[in-house]
Amino acid sequence: QVRLEESGGGSVPTGGSQKLSCAVSDDTKSRRMLAWFRQSPGKAREGLVAFDTGSGPVAIADAGHGRFRASHDSVNSVFYLEGHGLQPEDTAIYYCAAAADLSVWGPYLLLPRSYTYWGQGTQVTVSS
């Protein structure tokens, strides 16, 4: 069983930065495929970055390239997402997710259906 809890959301001015955290509680303590997603009102959930806790980032969406960076603190089991140069279109609920195993690969890494465990999300609002 994996439990995820995001934190760090809030209001950010245009051009600002924000760092989100996801506390990962994993009974198995095993290597995991984690990811950050976001969802804006009226839009589908969008994958930003996928991260293998054993090797590092494995996929990043065009929307996140150059502005979003994921990292993982293996000692404290915290998964991070840093965003820079944020724009109003980055306003969304941000979710972290964990896959059930490491079979997720390639084009499936940023698809919501590839992930079994989800946090409750944290709202990020970028004001213009």
Q: What is the mean pLDDT of residues 52-59?
A: 94
84-110: pLDDT as tens digits: 999 999 999 999 999 998 899 998 999
Using alpha carbons, list the distances in angstroms from residue 38 to 24, 100, 114, 124.
18, 20, 15, 10
pLDDT at 57: 93
pLDDT at 18: 97
44-55: pLDDT as tens digits: 999 999 999 999
What DSSP letter does each residue of 36-51 carry, written as one string?
EEEE-TTS--EEEEEE
11-40: pLDDT as tens digits: 999 999 999 999 999 988 889 999 999 999
pLDDT at 124: 98
Beta pairing partners, 24: 4
pLDDT at 1: 86
pLDDT at 71: 97
